[in-house]
């Protein structure tokens, strides 16, 4: 049963369509369904060169493609330019999550989203990144606004996808769709730090490609 009924969404300021950056299927599932229900035209823009290793990247991307195809949503598969990501992350290898490395990481993804929007006739961008309760929404919105500010024609939609039950529905949809359940944010440093934490708790290291959401899971998951 759904946590709550969605309100009908409207794009701000008369925009007619949206370019939605997506980080993964679990985070974008609720956003995509909310947009579909509100009959808002949109396309998914998948640009996440932070995700490491390539095996994990492909699993996350393929899950997102599977869900987009199910709903006939255009899916734009952008570069996996990891060299650029690592170049920009240089010197930030030991920064904590939510710190300056993450600001760089969001900046990079929004910059590419805004560029694609500019070159392809979109005037509004947003992202599924902010729906996760692990993320700092202000940090993400600041990055989105900064990227859009490079183009007078482009605006960033800072809609709070978590509110009005969005965060709960994100989990419900992930279970219903049995999405792959990633166990770390994405980059090699988050994989390293999550594994260190797990080992300090006496847990095994992350095994890529093995964990999926399901209705049999506890609500905690």
Would you say 31 or 108 has its CB closer to ligand SF4?
108
Degrees to nearest 5, angle at CA 180 with 63 and 125: 50
- Residue 155 touching ligand SF4 (CB under 6 A): no
Mark 147-184 as b/e (b = at least 16 C-beta within 10 Å): bbeeeeebbbbbbebbeebbbebbbbbbbebebbbbbb
Burial class (CB in 10 A: 0-12, 13-18, 19+), 3: middle
Least separation in angstroms between residue 92's CB and ligand SF4 is: 8
Give me the helices (H) in the chain, please. 25-37, 54-70, 82-89, 100-119, 137-148, 166-177, 188-200
Instruction: Enumerate residues 79-118 that contact ligand SF4 by CB under 6 A.
Output: 97, 101-102, 105
Among 50, 123, 126, 182, binds ligand SF4 (CB under 6 A): 50
Instruction: Enumerate residues 52-81 that contact ligand SF4 by CB under 6 A.
Output: none
- Residue 170 touching ligand SF4 (CB under 6 A): no
Any binding-site annotation on 143? no
Burial class (CB in 10 A: 0-12, 13-18, 19+), 124: buried
DSSP three-state, residue 171: helix
Any binding-site annotation on 24? yes
Would you say 103 or 174 has its CB closer to ligand SF4?
103
Interface stretch with ligand SF4, choices 8-16, 136-144, 183-191, 199-207 (CB under 6 A): 183-191
Least separation in angstroms between residue 186's CB and ligand SF4 is: 3
Interface stretch with ligand SF4, choices 29-37, 147-155, 179-187, 202-210 (CB under 6 A): 179-187
The binding site for ligand SF4 (CB under 6 A) comprises 50, 97, 101-102, 105, 185-187, 189-190
């Amino acid at each position: 049963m759904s946590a709550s009924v969605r309100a009908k969404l409207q794009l701000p300021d008369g925009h007619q369509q949206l370019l939605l950056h997506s980080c993964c299927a679990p985070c974008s599932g609720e956003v995509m369904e909310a947009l579909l229900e509100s009959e808002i035209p949109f396309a998914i823009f998948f640009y996440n060169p932070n995700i490491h290793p390539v095996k994990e990247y492909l699993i996350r991307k393929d899950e997102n493609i599977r869900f987009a195809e199910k709903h006939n949503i255009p899916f734009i598969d952008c570069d996996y330019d990891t060299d650029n990501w690592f170049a920009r992350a240089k010197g930030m290898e030991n920064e904590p999550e939510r710190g300056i490395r993450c600001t760089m990481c969001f900046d990079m993804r929004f910059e590419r989203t805004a560029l694609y929007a500019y070159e392809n006739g979109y005037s509004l961008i947003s992202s599924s990144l902010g729906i996760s309760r692990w993320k700092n929404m202000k940090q993400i919105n600041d990055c989105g606004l900064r990227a859009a500010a490079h183009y007078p024609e482009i605006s960033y939609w800072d809609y709070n996808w978590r509110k009005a039950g969005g965060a709960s529905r994100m989990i419900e949809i992930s279970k219903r769709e049995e999405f792959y359940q990633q166990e770390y944010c994405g980059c090699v440093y988050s994989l390293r730090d999550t594994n260190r934490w797990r080992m300090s708790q006496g847990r095994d290291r992350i095994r890529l490609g093995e964990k999926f959401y399901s209705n049999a899971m506890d609500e905690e998951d």
